[in-house]
Chains A and B, each alone.
Chain A
Amino acid sequence: MTAQELLDTLSSRFGSAILESKLDVNQPWIKIDGNRAREICLFLRNEPSTRFDYLMCLSGVDYNDGTLGVVYHCSSMEHKHKIVLKAICSKDNPHCQSVSAVWGTANWHEREAFDMFGIIFDGHPDLRRILLPDDWEGHPLRKDYKVQEFYRGIRVPY
């Protein structure tokens, strides 16, 4: 299935949840509504013609314009096609639906995105920090991150 066909399928089914797309680049991407990520991903996984059963990567991004993004790199083992999905949320209210029920692997990736960017994944079974200590302040990969002065009495900036 080509990216154009995929985009048509998605827009006819989800309409308003498909926001934007760019298909003429090396890795075509489709921007989706983060609050409907779960149903879109579930559709993509279960639909026989798309069958995106393998989530390669899920990354958080800070676009530095007041928005945060979640990028899903999906691929299909059966059809050997790939697609990139991007979901956008605002920095003030960073909410996005969790897809960990669709792909088990998203569980830890989402925890990492929460840890590093503070994106809250609604419906995630166990949203805790994963790499940083539980009592760390702030989300380090945000572009406006200021490191805390002290962590448990240890001076952090060097």
Chain B
Amino acid sequence: MDQPKALPTNYVTQPDKIATSKGKTVRTEEMIINMGPQHPSTHGVLRLEIIVDGEIIVDAIPHIGYLHRCFEKHAEHMTNYQQVIPYADRMDYVASMNNDWAFALAIERMMKIEVPERVEYIRVIMAELQRIASHLVALGTYGIDAGAFTPFLYCFRDREEILDLFEMTCGARLLYNYIWVGGVSHDLPQGFIEQAKEFCTYFKPKIKEFNDLLTYNEIFIKRTAHVGVLPRDVAINYACSGPMLRGSGVHWDLRRDDPYSVYHKFEWEVQTGKGEVGTVGDCWDRHIVRVREMEQSVKIIEQALASIPEGNVQSAIPKRIRPEPGDIYVRTETPRGELGFYVISDGSGSFYRVKARGPAFVNLSVLPEISRGAMIADLTLIVGSVDIVLGEVDR
């Protein structure tokens, strides 16, 4: 059997263990430091065991599970499918709408439910608003990782507007339980469309403001260009997805490449990293992909708002959810990438088995590959550019 090809790693330096000083050989030792679970730059309770030679990282070993809430075990023990949606909300708590949708879609595909057109439009609007909100959190905290505090508050100011829209729709600001199997919990409230349109006009100039403040800042570019380079083949081999994959120059977006819902009706473009200021696949590329995706999301929202049809949003909600025995894997594009649910039904009213394939979980697994040879200061930026939400990594 032929051996698998060795994966390229981006070792910058491989530190010598033996140094010479004044003709004598001196043995230097590596130091092991513990970063997290309580550390401001690990975005939650990620723990990194890092082996350093001076400031240079020899290896970084992620330890996860500090936020494990047994999603899969809980799901098996619920008495019906609908009860699991609030749990799905709490997986990626920065992008709950997208989680709900992925979950609902899995059941709908299993039961072959056709949802009304209006529901599809509402879901697209909500998912894209959520994508903007989630990217705003990612980009703002990325600024903090780089030492710039101000962009963070600007991002949260704009995110607030989106959360207001969500609150108006379903009463919740973070964990919505809005997208149900076959429909949504409430129709759009009065005035929503106007306010959402207003938000779109308000938000577009803010992206430019953010870029001026952070993205094109000379120091920020110096810090993120050529750092944490994730080559294309490694990204695919590690099944990275979302901005992580697109940042490495792979033209891949599930909304286009594994179509679901009504995304094909709108005009938008998949954004990829091009290595404008550094190497393709560096931290800056992942950053700019997120920024540009926000612009694309605004575009989608505007089109969806303009052409949303009328209809009953609850007509397709099944009275009893009881899929045929069988299994299905359904994947959708969340802000962090491919969120998949592998669902096995045994014909009863609740799950036989559900496996959640979280994008952050998979994206994080490539971290050791891209952080070797970087400096400690780079590591915080690399972790930030992966954009993990520990709630979903640990589930």
Which A residues lie at the B interface, using CB under 8 A? 25-27, 38-39, 42, 53-57, 59-62, 71, 73, 77, 80, 84, 101-105, 107-109, 116, 129-133, 140-141
CA distance A143 to B355 in the complex (A): 15
The reply to whether A141 and B73 contact each other, CB–CB distance below 8 Å, is: yes
Query: Are A26 and B236 also in contact (CB < 8 A) when A80-B257, A131-B65, A132-B65 are?
Result: no
Would you give the shortest CB distance from B270 to chain A, in whole angstroms? 13
Closest to B7 in A: A104
Would you give the shortest CB distance from B255 to chain A, in whole angstroms? 14
Q: Check B365 for interface membership: any CB of A closer than 8 A.
A: yes
CB contacts (< 8 Å) of A42 on chain B: these are: 1-2, 4
The reply to whether B342 and A73 contact each other, CB–CB distance below 8 Å, is: yes
Would you give the shortest CB distance from B390 to chain A, in whole angstroms? 11
Which of B41-49, B115-123, B312-320, B321-329 lies at the interface with chain A? B321-329
The reply to whether B237 and A104 contact each other, CB–CB distance below 8 Å, is: yes
Would you give the shortest CB distance from B237 to chain A, in whole angstroms? 5
The reply to whether B7 and A132 contact each other, CB–CB distance below 8 Å, is: no
The answer, among A25, A26, A77, for a CB contact under 8 Å with B252, is A77
CB contacts (< 8 Å) of B4 on chain A: these are: 42, 101-102
Known: A56-B329, A73-B329, A131-B64. 15 other contacts (CB 8 A): A25-B326, A42-B4, A56-B340, A56-B357, A57-B342, A59-B342, A59-B353, A71-B342, A73-B340, A80-B257, A84-B329, A105-B237, A130-B64, A131-B68, A140-B70
Q: Check B239 for interface membership: any CB of A closer than 8 A.
A: yes
Query: Are A141 and B72 also in contact (CB < 8 A) when A56-B329, A73-B329 are?
Result: yes
CB contacts (< 8 Å) of A108 on chain B: these are: 361-362, 364-365
Query: Are A57 and B65 also in contact (CB < 8 A) when A104-B369, A105-B362 are?
Result: no
CB contacts (< 8 Å) of B326 on chain A: these are: 25-26
Q: Check B250 for interface membership: any CB of A closer than 8 A.
A: yes
A-B contact count (CB 8 A): 89
CA distance A59 to B362 in the complex (A): 13
Would you give the shortest CB distance from A66 to chain B, in whole angstroms? 16
Which B residues lie at the A interface, using CB under 8 A? 1-2, 4, 7, 64-65, 68, 70, 72-73, 76, 109, 234, 236-240, 250, 252, 257, 326-329, 331, 338, 340, 342, 344, 353, 355, 357, 361-362, 364-366, 369, 394-395
CB contacts (< 8 Å) of A130 on chain B: these are: 64-65
Closest to B112 in A: A26
Would you give the shortest CB distance from A77 to chain B, in whole angstroms? 6
Closest to A126 in B: B61
Query: Are A141 and B342 also in contact (CB < 8 A) when A104-B234, A104-B237, A105-B362 are?
Result: no
CA distance A77 to B232 in the complex (A): 12
CA distance A59 to B327 in the complex (A): 12
CB contacts (< 8 Å) of A55 on chain B: these are: 239
Would you give the shortest CB distance from B333 to chain A, in whole angstroms? 13
Closest to A105 in B: B239
CB contacts (< 8 Å) of A56 on chain B: these are: 239, 329, 331, 338, 340, 357
Query: Are A27 and B365 also in contact (CB < 8 A) when A73-B342, A132-B65 are?
Result: no
CA distance A18 to B362 in the complex (A): 28
Closest to A42 in B: B4
Query: Are A59 and B355 also in contact (CB < 8 A) when A26-B109, A27-B329, A104-B237 are?
Result: yes
CA distance A84 to B64 in the complex (A): 28
The reply to whether A27 and B328 contact each other, CB–CB distance below 8 Å, is: yes
Contacts A/B (CB < 8 Å), 22 sampled: A42-B1, A56-B239, A56-B329, A57-B340, A57-B342, A57-B357, A62-B353, A73-B340, A73-B342, A84-B329, A102-B4, A103-B237, A104-B234, A104-B239, A104-B365, A105-B239, A108-B362, A108-B364, A116-B72, A131-B65, A132-B65, A141-B73
